[in-house]
Structure 1
Amino acid sequence: MEHHNLYALFRAAFGQSLQKTAITTDDGHSVTFGDIDALSGRMANWLESLGLRPGDRVMVQVEKSVPALLFYLACLRSGMVYVPLNTAYQSAELAYFMENAQPAVFVGDPARLAALSPLAAGLGVPHLVTLAADGSGSLMDAVQAHPGEHRVCEVSGDDLAAILYTSGTTGRSKGAQLTHHNLASNARTLQTLWGWQPHDVLIHALPIFHVHGLFVAAHCALLGASTMLWMGRFKPRQVLDWLPRATVFMGVPTLYVRLLQEPALTPGACGAMRLFISGSAPLLAETFREWQQRTGHTILERYGMSETLMLTSNPYRAEDGPRLGGTVGRPLPGVQVRCVDENGQACPAGGIGNIEVRGPNVFPGYWRMPEANAREFSADGWFRTGDVGHFNDAGYLTIVGRSKDLIITGGYNVYPAEVEGYINELEGVAESAVIGCPHPDFGEGVVAVVVPQPGASLDPAQLSAAIKERIAGFKVPKHLFVVNDLPRNVMGKVQKNLLRDTYAQVFKG
């Protein structure tokens, strides 16, 4: 039987490099690949000592740490299903996740133990342990009694490796099931596509409860037997200190914006770097251009989802084409992406449609939600992403928004990303968000929420006048608000549902 366990794939990759430094933290602590193998083995043995069996769920809500990453690997190697949770989730949300996933183990922060204990007990979670950001906690105490040698559990490629709960901006969060094969196929593809080598050094500045930090960044490094420079929380100056030692950086757009505020960001500081990757939220054209000017590097933007892992990427190699700002590149090898109209017919180049995907990376469905699965997959097996976009003649995909964010005003379709693009080009504008709000005559009215650049003073009337010169009248915002910042989730995505709630009454005055 072929070994399909994802951890076995990682172990084969770094098995000849056990003495090599795998991770160096921002406080100077280092672990080798041998340490990773031994400590994750102890953790896996501890899980099995509890009587857990492959397929049991292990739910984790802890701050980022090296032991937290190794515990994920322990779940893989013992055949458990890893369920990471955003650290911002509170008791009501945790109760829903526990009830839905029915975990055998919950790992939480020691500081939240008083709230977690009655919650876990009331919902019948058999085992509650703690893990702090500094590596202390009852989990680490418990695993010390177990040996580091561990036989990796044999699984099929279709067995679940993880469940990721979506952010739940509409209705209850859904648990996206990801298999060992989903994760392994995507990791192999990205390792090849992005030219990953053992001598690469990754600056890991992302959370690890999300696809980007865990299933893209960490997987690429583990599969490449590459060293990670590991920071618990993003610190721009720490990144700058590490750049001369690193070759790859992955970030959400917000991280790039903050790095651009550092005077020490220069071409010389980035001299050792070969690749900067951005994802999880749209990268503003201004950020894309300014990064080129300040560093001499062109950011590679890509596109993925919790349900599908990575789907598209701008080219890494120059011979494969340019990296085009405002696009997320072409479909990955082996991945199919199409834009279709409301009748399910393929859109021509430039035609805006609903994005659907299929491939070895695409999840088999949501955990215990057959109705959602029937709704979100087409009859011929394509997953409906909920995103809207179009391809250019060269096959590059541009995302114009979420289908739920589409504004229909007076019978006309308005795509927020298009209007935002025009607003963001205006002098003094840092960024914007365009939403639809209930309107008594038009059904929905276009509303823009704009953030000024530092030191800039924006006049809503002047902005509106400038926009009217650029786009069709039905796309022009009927109300424009200037604010200090936009609400975002931890991955940097603007939370338009919160904006719609805030401005819901704007046309009812």
Structure 2
Amino acid sequence: MNVLFDRLFDTQKNKKVFIKYSENREPLTYEEFLLETKTTARYLKDLGLKCEDRLVVQIRKSHHVLAIYGACVQLGIIFIPLNTSYTYSEVDYFLTDSQCKLFVCQPDMEKEIIQNDKEKQFITKTISSDYEGSFFETIEKLTPLDFVEKRHENDVGAILYTSGTTGRSKGAMLTHKNLLSNAETLANTWRFTERDVLLHALPIYHTHGLFVATNIVLITGCQMIFLSGFNTKEVIKTLPDSTVMMGVPTFYTRLLKDNQFSKKLVRAMRLFISGSAPLLSETHQEFERITGHQILERYGMTETNMITSNPYDGLRKAGTVGLALSDVSVRIVSLYGNDILS
């Protein structure tokens, strides 16, 4: 049994669109995405990767990253995405600390590794910004792999490095159960259905863009408009075709500064969600004045995924992050661990 793979990836065997792009590119269907995921799994297996090996990826945002993530879940490989702005000296620490078996990176990063690490204990494969590189040299000739590794709900599925602690960044281990239950809970809490279209302008090396946004899309079988990053003009162009947007506070402040942003522009939208940093009350109020929508603020951590959310139905209080999600317990404690308020 591998419930995470079954629920996120293997259930969507249809020709429905999974990813739309803002540029002139053909959309990607769920069927095509699953095919690439299973072919990537074959490729990883042929490279010698096995269950519980660690795969680190640091490349530009693309559906190829998502296919690698899916292939890792399929084979029980632990998926470790890294911020694309990390330098070699930072990456070197993560590769060593994580006991990396395969590093998928940009060609320039591979050159630095070859120059500086003569005794590396991992394989490197490249994917460039224009989606070429050694990762693709043989993969297109391979057949999809149907084998799915059995995984227990408490097995680690991913590691996200976080600087939210003292000292050097530490890897937060996220289990299959954590990833699945959080996606299910958020999809229910925020009323996602297969008819939704998520505007995705977030990075996918962070829990917000990957394990919140993308996992919800996968588990509900809806669509997403996949932007390479947040560009105000691109977001304004795609908002009329979207129903939900997830963002950080700066996304919303930048939209409010644009004269084209209006209530008419967002008439198809049903929900705006904010997280990763506090949203100012002034931004919340101004956004509601312009659009008629109250931004839904939620709270989570890299170590846990999402913990609390303002309600979908009911009052969304500016400057607050709402109540504990279903099956999540929250308590406030003192510095020494004593209960202050349950």
TM range (shorter): over 0.9
CA distance in 1, matches of 2:69, 2:129: 15
Q: Residues 22 and 193 of structure 1: is their aligned pair in 2 closer, same or farther, counting only changes over 3 Å? A: same
Residue 326 of structure 1 is matched in structure 2 by: 319
- Match status 1:82 vs 2:92: no
Q: What is the CA distance between 1:141 and its match in structure 2?
A: 2.3
Q: What is the CA distance between 1:63 and its match in structure 2?
A: 1.1
Residue identity (%): 42
CA distance in 2, matches of 1:255, 1:202: 15
**Contact 2:331 / 2:341 at 8 angstroms: preserved in 1?**
no
Moved more, 107-116 or 240-249: 107-116
Structure of higher RCO (CA pairs closer than 8 Å, 6+ residues apart): 2
CA distance in 1, matches of 2:116, 2:205: 21
Task: Pick from 19, 42, 53 the counterpart of residue 15 of structure 2.
Answer: 19
Give the 3-state SS of the residue equivalent to 1:240 in structure 2. helix
Q: Residues 11 and 169 of structure 1: is their aligned pair in 2 closer, same or farther, counting only changes over 3 Å? A: closer
Moved more, 183-192 or 232-241: 232-241
Amino acid paired to 2:108? A
CA distance in 2, matches of 1:137, 1:55: 26
Q: What is the CA distance between 1:348 and its match in structure 2?
A: 4.2
Q: Residues 122 and 168 of structure 1: is their aligned pair in 2 closer, same or farther, counting only changes over 3 Å? A: farther
CA distance in 2, matches of 1:257, 1:309: 25
Q: Residues 297 and 227 of structure 1: is their aligned pair in 2 closer, same or farther, counting only changes over 3 Å? A: same
CA distance in 1, matches of 2:279, 2:116: 39
Q: TM-score scaled to structure 1, two decimals?
A: 0.65
**Contact 2:199 / 2:238 at 8 angstroms: preserved in 1?**
yes
CA distance in 1, matches of 2:117, 2:252: 39
Q: Residues 120 and 247 of structure 1: is their aligned pair in 2 closer, same or farther, counting only changes over 3 Å? A: farther
Amino acid paired to 1:238? E
Residue 213 of structure 1 is matched in structure 2 by: 209
Residue 270 of structure 1 is matched in structure 2 by: 266
CA distance in 2, matches of 1:121, 1:245: 50
Q: What is the CA distance between 1:303 and its match in structure 2?
A: 0.4
Q: Residues 307 and 226 of structure 1: is their aligned pair in 2 closer, same or farther, counting only changes over 3 Å? A: same
**Contact 1:120 / 1:128 at 8 angstroms: preserved in 2?**
no
**Contact 1:117 / 1:128 at 8 angstroms: preserved in 2?**
no
Give the 3-state SS of the residue equivalent to 2:330 in structure 1. strand
Output aligned runs, 1:156-175, within 5 Å.
Answer: 156-167=152-163, 170-175=166-171
Task: Pick from 281, 287, 292 the counterpart of residue 285 of structure 1.
Answer: 281
Give the 3-state SS of the residue equivalent to 2:103 in structure 1. strand
Amino acid paired to 1:65? S
CA distance in 1, matches of 2:38, 2:336: 51
Q: TM-score scaled to structure 2, two decimals?
A: 0.96
Amino acid paired to 1:336? S
- Match status 1:100 vs 2:100: no
CA distance in 2, matches of 1:49, 1:227: 32
Residue 7 of structure 1 is matched in structure 2 by: 5
**Contact 2:200 / 2:227 at 8 angstroms: preserved in 1?**
yes
Residue 42 of structure 1 is matched in structure 2 by: 39
CA distance in 2, matches of 1:5, 1:348: 36
Structure 1: runs of 5+ lacking an equivalent: 350-509
Amino acid paired to 1:113? E
CA distance in 2, matches of 1:46, 1:13: 22
CA distance in 2, matches of 1:159, 1:293: 46
CA distance in 1, matches of 2:142, 2:182: 32
Residue 114 of structure 1 is matched in structure 2 by: 111
Q: Deviations over 1:412-448 (max 9, x none)?
A: xxxxxxxxxxxxxxxxxxxxxxxxxxxxxxxxxxxxx
CA distance in 1, matches of 2:143, 2:211: 27
**Contact 1:5 / 1:77 at 8 angstroms: preserved in 2?**
no
Q: What is the CA distance between 1:343 and its match in structure 2?
A: 4.7
**Contact 2:2 / 2:74 at 8 angstroms: preserved in 1?**
no
**Contact 2:2 / 2:148 at 8 angstroms: preserved in 1?**
no
Residue 181 of structure 2 is matched in structure 1 by: 185
**Contact 1:55 / 1:80 at 8 angstroms: preserved in 2?**
yes
CA distance in 2, matches of 1:52, 1:186: 28
Residue 60 of structure 2 is matched in structure 1 by: 63
Amino acid paired to 2:129? A
Q: Deviations over 1:132-165 (max 9, x none)?
A: 2332221122311211242222211111111111
Give the 3-state SS of the residue equivalent to 2:340 in structure 1. coil
Residue 304 of structure 1 is matched in structure 2 by: 300
- Aligned positions, number: 341
Q: Residues 121 and 164 of structure 1: is their aligned pair in 2 closer, same or farther, counting only changes over 3 Å? A: farther
Output aligned runs, 1:479-490, within 5 Å.
Answer: none
Give the 3-state SS of the residue equivalent to 2:338 in structure 1. coil
Give the 3-state SS of the residue equivalent to 2:141 in structure 1. coil
- Match status 1:338 vs 2:331: yes
Q: What is the CA distance between 1:12 and its match in structure 2?
A: 4.9
Greater radius of gyration (CA) = 1
Q: Residues 120 and 43 of structure 1: is their aligned pair in 2 closer, same or farther, counting only changes over 3 Å? A: farther
CA distance in 2, matches of 1:134, 1:247: 29
Structure 2: runs of 5+ lacking an equivalent: none
- Match status 1:134 vs 2:130: yes
